[in-house]
Structures are given as C-alpha cells and as structure tokens.
Structure 1
Amino acid sequence: MINKLPDSTPLSRVLDAVAWLCLAVSGVCMVVLVSSFGWLVYGRYVLNDTPTWVEQVALLMVVTITFLGAAVGVYQRTHLNVDLFSALLPPRGKIMLSVSIDLLMGLFGGLMAWQAYGLVMFAWNKSIPLLGVPDGLRYIPMVISGALILVFSLSRIPAALRGQHQSLAVTEETS
C-alpha cells in the first residue's frame, strides 16, 4: 500500500511517478542480479569457466536496489517507526512531531546526498576491477537516494502544517 500525500496535487503526482520509476529501476536491477547469478552458476558448473565480473555487477545492483528502495520507503512511509508516542499527543503535538520527523529525515537525506557526492568525486578516477567503469558509479545511487529522501520528506511538511498530516504509521486500507 502506498501512503501518499493527502492531496492529489501536481507535486504529489510527480513524486508518485518518481517513486514508481525508482521501483521500476530497482526491479530491473533485481532481474539483472538474478540473471547474472544464473550465468555464474551456469558458467561455473556447465562451462567450467567462472565469469569473474558477476560479483562486481552484483554489488552495483544491490547498492542500487537498496538505496532506491530506501528512498521509496521514506516516501511511502513504510520504514520502521513506533507510533505509540505520537498516539499520546494532542493534535497540535502530532503536527509538530510529524514536521520534526520530516525535517530530520530531510536533513539526513541532504547530508547523505552531499557526502555521497564527495565519494563519487573521490572514486571517479579509479576503475571497478573486471568491469572497467568508474568506481564512482557505486555511490551514485546513494546521491540519488539522499536527494529523493530530502525531497520526499520536505514535500510532506506543507500538508502537515495545514493539519492534513497522516499518521506516522502506515494504516490499513479497508475493502
């Protein structure tokens, strides 16, 4: 279930599309990951010639899946949280808590993007062994994820300030 912004605004539709794109890219990376390991097993046991590039491709795919998935988890509010404290607060306190959490998550995302960009620049002139591509590619999903966490988190603040905040926990939809 997707826990979207309360209003269907142009911004929320764009963010929905970005989240969908992240999930689609993660899905493609998962297919590449599974296929490359299939090729590894086939090469090792049938061809008796182990493809050595599979480990490096797998690392790139896992990093991409993990970080894009984390950003979508922030957008959909499927990340781990404890709702007990917010349930005890009055409505104004819930708004303040929701805004504070979104600000902290945005700060975290911005710092992650900034520091990961430094890693990209630091490692760009090195090469990933056996693949021949820049080592900085490993950190690009971190930059993208951090930037998306920043945008996804900050996009919730106006709705929260209008009193349209959603529960910090994901709620079940009734059929």
Structure 2
Amino acid sequence: MAATIARWLIGFGAAGLIAMTAIIAWQVFGRFVLDASPSWTEQASLILMIWYVMFASAAGVYEGFHIRIALLEERLGDASRPVARVVALVIALAGLVLLVYGAQLCWAVRGNAVPSLGISRAVAYIPLPIAGLLMTVFALPRVISGRSAVEGGAG
C-alpha cells in the first residue's frame, strides 16, 4: 500500500513539473511573442511547485532518497543503526510539524483568494499537512527497525 502511494506521489510530482514547465513556456511565449503575459501563470506555477515538491518529498522519505548520512551508514554498517533511527525520528517529527502547522495555515488562509486564479489561498497549502502525515507514516518503520535506506531500501 505504501509503495503504491509513493509511486502515485512520484507520478504526481512528475506531472506537476511538466505542467509547470508548460505554464512557464506559455508565459514566456505570451511575454515575448504576443507582448501580453498572462496574469495567472506565475501564481499557477508557484502553487504547482508547492504541490509537487511536497508530495515528492513525502515519496522521498519512503524511497530513502531523503536527507540522510549515507556515507556514515555505509562506513559504520550496523553501528549506524542509532544514527539511522535518529534521522528517521527527526523526519517523522518534521512530518508532524508539517501536519499540524500546515493544517493551521490552510485554515487561517481559507478565506483569502489568489487574485489571478480566483481560488482560495488554502489550495496552495493543502499539500503541507498531507505530505507531513505521509512523511511521518513513511518514517515510523525506520524509527522502529533502525533500518537505513542504504542497507534496507524502501519501506
């Protein structure tokens, strides 16, 4: 189940990057060819970036390409398990922070609109609590087992 979610997150991240590239290309075309840059492109691309970066980060925790001390893990072998647990615990706690404060941020800005898009500002920040929850869920097995991404792969 977690592997499927991580694959979907990576796919969504890739699609978001492609969509953002197309939007920026449209903005450049509009500015230099049509001499009229669309007003919505900048905000749309920024919101897409928040979405795909947060979801790819959550997938990165599952896949093991998150920030970790890989060289230390490789050199120390089993002796690095406590370090791997601490790193995973820090990531799980960071996920909880994103979950709690991301949800509060969404609630606080729900009445504000993105002027050029006409949508709630909360739409931009919805990925924060979702990605935070997923980061925590993906990091907890590593906290419990002490297994590092280098030696044990995803999971």
Partner residue of 1:4?
Answer: none
1:148 aligned residue (107, 112, 134): 134
Q: Residue 125 of structure 1: CA displacement?
A: 0.4
Identity of aligned residues (%): 24
CA contact (8 A) 2:27 2:38 kept: yes
CA contact (8 A) 1:82 1:169 kept: no
1:50 aligned residue (37, 58, 70): 37
Partner residue of 2:11?
Answer: 24
Q: Residue 100 of structure 1: CA displacement?
A: 3.2
Structure 1: runs of 5+ lacking an equivalent: 1-13
Encode CA deviations 1:69-94: one digit per residue, 9 max, x unaligned: 11111111112322454456684x54
- Number of equivalences: 153
Q: Distance in 2 between matches of 1:170 and 1:90?
A: 8
Partner residue of 2:119?
Answer: 133
Question: 1:52 aligns to what SS in structure 2?
Answer: coil
Q: Which has the greater radius of gyration?
A: 1
Encode CA deviations 1:26-68: one digit per residue, 9 max, x unaligned: 1121121111112112222222221011000011011112111
TM-score, normalisation: structure 2 = 0.85
Letter in structure 1 aligned against 2:111: N
CA contact (8 A) 2:20 2:45 kept: yes
Counterpart check, 1:102 vs 2:83: no
Q: Distance in 1 between matches of 2:97 and 2:45?
A: 26
Q: Distance in 2 between matches of 1:45 and 1:89?
A: 55
Question: 1:78 aligns to what SS in structure 2?
Answer: coil
TM-score, normalisation: structure 1 = 0.76
Query: Per residue, is there more helix in 1 or in 2?
Result: 2
Letter in structure 2 aligned against 1:49: A
Partner residue of 2:58?
Answer: 71
CA contact (8 A) 2:109 2:120 kept: yes
CA RMSD of aligned residues (A): 2.4
